[in-house]
């Protein structure tokens, strides 16, 4: 049985007087399910010359060595953004503020400032999704020496640690 089946059964059963009590038991406490919106691909956010996740070293996949990170952005309501970084081995989380928006230049400079907080041997690779905020990934790699690997499109499970942390932060 999948989690979707459980959630749907709770929402169907909750149409009577138990609705409020059931929604209090849900993690997100939402009374209604959000429908999934499907958009047609535009091709505008495609990263040029990405290094894909399957080219990442094997030591990053099995979490045997520290220094391999996963990253993403959390978007706020008023065009604010916070960058999240999760180290795969220790699950150490670093947050950084992006005061100038979520375009490629502020993300590149914000990341470059964050990586200076830790020793060099703790920064070996970074895995990111294929969002437009990483359009300057090649310049970032030249500036810092840290290779950025990109997940496959619409495959959030390839950055599971970061996805979990972002969900908890949103909650």
Confidence check: pLDDT of 9 > 90: no
Cβ contacts of 160 within 8 Å, gap of 6 or more: none
- The verdict on residue 92 lying in a domain is yes
Residue 67 vs residues 86, 111, 170, 171: alpha-carbon distances, Å:
10, 15, 25, 27
Task: Look over the chain and give the mean of its residue pLDDT values, rounded to a whole number.
Answer: 83
- For 98, the domain range is 53-170
- The verdict on residue 93 lying in a domain is yes
Are residues 6 and 88 part of one domain?
Answer: no
- The C-alpha atoms of residue 10 and residue 80 are separated, in whole angstroms, by 34
- The verdict on residue 145 lying in a domain is yes
More confident residue, 102 or 16: 102
Are residues 28 and 106 part of one domain?
Answer: no
Are residues 18 and 82 part of one domain?
Answer: no
Domain count, the chain: 2
- The verdict on residue 140 lying in a domain is yes
Q: What CATH number corresponds to the domain at position 165?
A: 3.30.420.10
Are residues 92 and 126 part of one domain?
Answer: yes
Are residues 135 and 87 part of one domain?
Answer: yes
Q: Residues 116-144: pLDDT tens digits?
A: 999 988 999 999 998 899 999 999 999 99
Mean of pLDDT values over 55-81: 88
Are residues 141 and 64 part of one domain?
Answer: yes
- The verdict on residue 41 lying in a domain is no
Confidence check: pLDDT of 17 > 50: no
């Amino acid at each position: 049985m999948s989690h979707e089946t459980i959630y749907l059964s709770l929402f169907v059963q909750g149409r009577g007087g138990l609705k409020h009590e059931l929604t209090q038991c849900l993690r997100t406490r939402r009374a209604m399910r959000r429908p999934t919106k499907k958009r047609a691909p535009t091709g505008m956010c495609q990263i040029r010359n990405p290094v894909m996740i399957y080219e990442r070293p094997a030591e990053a996949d099995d979490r045997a060595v520290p220094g391999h990170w996963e990253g993403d952005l959390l978007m706020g309501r008023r065009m604010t953004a916070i960058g999240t970084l999760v180290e795969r081995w220790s699950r150490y989380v670093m947050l950084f503020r992006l005061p100038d928006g979520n375009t490629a230049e502020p993300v590149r400079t914000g990341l470059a400032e964050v990586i200076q907080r830790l020793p060099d041997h703790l920064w070996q690779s970074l895995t990111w999704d294929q969002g437009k905020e990483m359009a300057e990934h090649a310049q970032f790699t030249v500036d810092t020496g840290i290779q950025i690997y990109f997940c496959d499109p619409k495959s959030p499970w390839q950055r599971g640690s970061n996805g979990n942390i972002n969900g908890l932060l949103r909650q």
